[in-house]
Each structure stands twice: as structure tokens, then as C-alpha cells.
Chain A
Amino acid sequence: MANDKRIGGALAAAACGLLGAAAPVRSPAAEPASKATDDSWDVDTAFLYYGESDGRVQDASLNAIAVRDFGDEHKLSLDLGIDTLTGASPSGAIAADRPQTFTSPSGRGTYTAKAGEVPLDDSFHDTRFALNAAWSQPFARLYSFNAGLGVSSEYDYQHIGANLGLTRDFNQRNTTLALALAYGQDQVKPVGGLPVPFSAMGDVVGEDSSPDNRSGKTDDKNVLDVLLGVTQVLGRHTLLRLNYSYSDSSGYLTDPYKVLSVVDPVSGEPLARTPPPGAQGPGGVYLFEHRPDSRKKQSVYGELRQDFAGKVLSLGYRYSTDDWEVDSHTLEGRFRFPVGESSYLEPHLRYYTQTAADFYRYSLADGASMPEFASADARLADLDAYTVGVKYARQTTAGNEWSARLELYHQTSKAPANTLIGEQPGNVHMPDFDAVILQFGYHFSL
């Protein structure tokens, strides 16, 4: 053909001539299904607000995931998040019949708790950045591999991690086996330095000093994760995923800001302490916690997705067990159903329950021999949590999607009876809380 001659019109006319009355008048409209084409990014963004009851933690974050397909399923995914955290967290100390005073982590100030109130440390406000990049692509006919790198940074904590994965399809792609490995290296540099385990919270120090019961400024932790998964198509409308994971953490696993109250062995009341004259400091004896320097975890996870004529139910269950004796069950369900032509609603329910770590203590008895490890962090106690939520999303005519999600979270914890001292049974105050999660999202192509 002559290189500069356009033949489209003649061709269309020829086709119309042939089809006559059968020639359709609609214009063609075919687009690649994945919006991540080799010349555009598929971007999902969200603003999230998390707020706990009673003036506790509040977190606001901005997140975005952008995916681009460079052709033939060679995909790059970039994930960026910024969040700011404010508000108070339980320090691990227990409520007393009288007001209590504590030294803040920096050692330079104090905070108080009222009588009967679970002490909350409100000296945190922090901003965290996180960035992840991942690449995935097929190789050979039935295989694909993926690799990822991630970093995150906040004032007192840095993380860097990498992961590698391989998948292989079987049975005309009805079955997919996946193997993945991840390694993470974290560095903790707590405000005020690393507390010596079981040392007592000290008095306030001067502006230019640091607290003196510290063993150093920073420490490391590393985590190795292995995952084996199988995805199986069970039918035209059903998909099942089963994962087995093994995780090995070692290094500094203690929370440098958490303490345990030392209590009278008979009454169970926190001991009272008077700071030396002229000094400000804790009104009780609070010892910094100490966790093992190793944690090995195993979990199995299963997820079923079932289509019911356009409505989709997904059910997930996870069982996890580790050598800290924290065993948990998680059951989660989502049901998505279309509303009108371009929207959907998706209610969500989640139930979580865990057993306490074997070194969890509600408090420590004065004069009793010290255990090797102890923590009063309620997140390591017997715990139950419920989430109820709903998501609403709407597609615009341009093919983008707005969404809003509201979740209500309720957490209650319990101290195992054998960790209670003296007359504490019946007078236990755990830092239970409710939280609201509100998220607004926008999904678009760039």
C-alpha cells in the first residue's frame, strides 16, 4: 500500500456494503481489562482516620498504591504511606486507688493518672513514612516470580525489608502453588534510650541528660518469614486460598516504653513511692518490661470466595500459634453486593481471639522472685476483638471509583487468673477500648 494513503474509510464502506442492514451503527469499544496498561498507572488512594475512645490513640494517614503493567503482565507496584499518630497509649502500669505520677520516656517530664484510671502515656506523637516497591512477571509458561523492597521510618524506628516469591500453575491454571520468603531488618532507637530490663522507672532528669538506667541507644530486630500457599479453583463461582506461614523474629522484641507495676503481695495495690526531695518522679515502683529475644510463629490461613450471581462472599479464617504461647483465631467475612448500576455495598465482620503470652503478667508482686520475662502489655493478654463495618463504592462514568468505609472496632482483654496477685481478682481494670475507622478512597488511572 502507498505509505501515506489512509484506507480506513474505504474499508469501512466495503464492510457496510457487505453487511447492509446487518451493519451495526454502534462504535467499537474494547479496552484492556487491566487498567494498568503499558502507558498508564492504576492508582488507588485512601485517606484513613483511626480514633480510639477516651482520648487514646488517633491516627490519620494518606496512602496510595500505583500499579503499572509494562506489557505481558510485567508489573511494577509502588506503595506510599504517611501517617501521623497522636494520643495516649496504656503504659502497662495498672490503676491504683490513688493518683499516680510517671516519668515520661524521655526522662524529662511527667504524666499522671487519676485514681482508678488505667495509666496512659500521652507523650507520643509521631509521623511515619513507608514506601514499598514490588515487581512481578511471568517467566516460562506456567511460572511467575515477584520481588519487593520496603522501607519505613519514624522517629524511633526504622525498617527495611525484602521479599521474593515464586508461583507455578497446574491443572489448566486451576491450581496455583506459591512460595515466598521475606526478610526484614528493623532498628529501634527509643526516646530516652534502651531501658535495662526490669530496672525501675527513674526520676526526671535535667534538660541535657538522659535517664541513667539505660543500656544503649539503639538495637536491632530481624524477621524471617516463609509462606507456602495454594490457590485452587473449586468451580466457576468459587475460589479457595490456603496459606501456611512460618515466621522467626529475633533481636530486640521488647517494647521499650512499657512497664509493669510492682504491687503489694497481699492487697494487690501498687506500691507507693516518694521521690527524693527536690526531685520529680514516679509515685510508684514501675519496672521496664522484658520480652524474649526470639519469637517463632506458625499460622494457617484459608480464604474462600464465592460468587452468588453477581454478589460475592469472602470468608477467611486464620489460626496462629507461637512459642510465646500466643494462640489466636481470626474469622472474617465480607459480602459485596451491587446497588443500582454502578455502586456496591460491602458489609464486613471480623472476630479475633487470642490467648495470653506465657510471660504476660498483670503486675509484679513486691518481694517475689522475678520471672525471666514479663510484660503487662494488654496486647499480649487474653484478648477478644470484634469489628463491624461497611464499605460503599461508586463508579464514575469515567471508570474511576469513589469509596467510603466505616468500621467499628471493640477490644476487650483479660488477665489470666494465675497472673493476678492478692485481692486483685474482681478489681482488674484492663485498657479495653473502642475505635472507629473511617476511610475515603479514590481509584483512578493516571
Chain B
Amino acid sequence: MRKVLLLALATAALPGCTTVKPWERDVLARDEMQLDANALDTALDDHIYFSKEGTSGGRGFGGGGCGCN
């Protein structure tokens, strides 16, 4: 029962998939809403975590390859 409730809450929390018109994309067009905002920071972090932890990647490609893992 708890599982069903949690699932229902989770799906209710997700906003419905509306279609946003091109002229309504003002907020989405901002730099900080881009998925690659902070690209350099996340690339540097990913490199650190790649060499200090057992799992890497998942976010995308680019860079990679070092003798540290």
C-alpha cells in the first residue's frame, strides 16, 4: 500500500507534460536553465570523482581517459 501511495505522490508531483510554445521559452532560454550550465565545473568534478570513486560517467561524453582508475 505504501509503495502505491509513494508512486502516486511521485507522479502527482511531476508537472504534466504540457507543450510550451516557442514564445513561452523565455525562462528555459536563460543560461542557468541550460543542462550544460557550469560545463567546466561539472567536467572538472567528474574527472575528480572518476579517479576517486568506482563509478563514472552517465551524464554525457567528452574528455576522459587517465591513468587514475
Contacts and interface: CB of A to CB of B under 8 A. Distances in A.
Any A–B CB pair closer than 8 Å: yes
Interface of A: 33, 44, 46, 48, 50, 61, 63, 65, 79, 81, 128, 130, 132, 134, 148, 150, 152, 154, 156-157, 159-161, 163, 165, 171-174, 180, 182, 184, 186, 188, 225, 227, 229, 231-239, 241, 243, 245, 247, 255, 297, 299-301, 303, 305, 307, 312, 316, 318, 320, 322, 326, 328, 330, 334, 336, 344, 352, 354, 357, 379-380, 383, 385, 391, 405, 407, 409, 411, 435, 437, 439, 441
Contacts of A316: 59
B55 A330 contact: yes
A65 B30 CA distance: 20
A50 B27 CA distance: 35
Given A46-B40, A156-B67, A379 B52 contact: yes
B33 A188 contact: no
B18 interface: yes
Contacts of A46: 40-41, 44
Contacts of B12: none
B65 to A, nearest CB: 3
A236 B28 contact: yes
B35 A231 contact: yes
A185 to B, nearest CB: 9
Nearest to A320: B55
A238 B15 contact: yes
A328 B57 contact: no
B62 A172 contact: no
Nearest to A334: B38
Nearest to B44: A48
Given A150-B63, A154-B66, A305-B33, A234 B53 contact: no
A186 B68 CA distance: 12
Interface residues of B, number: 44
A148 B63 CA distance: 9
B7 interface: no
A182 B61 contact: yes
A233 B29 CA distance: 12
B29 to A, nearest CB: 7
Nearest to B69: A379
Nearest to A33: B29
B32 A243 contact: no
Interface string B23-54: 01111111011010011110111001100111
A307 B28 CA distance: 8
A346 to B, nearest CB: 8
Nearest to A299: B58
A166 to B, nearest CB: 13
Contacts of B65: 130, 150, 152, 157, 159-161, 184, 186
A69 to B, nearest CB: 14
Point out which of B18, B27, B59 has the most chain A C-beta atoms below 10 A from its C-beta: B59
B62 A130 contact: no
Given A380-B54, A439-B44, A234 B14 contact: yes
Contact of B54 (A61, A132, A180, A328): A328
Contacts of B27: 236-237, 307
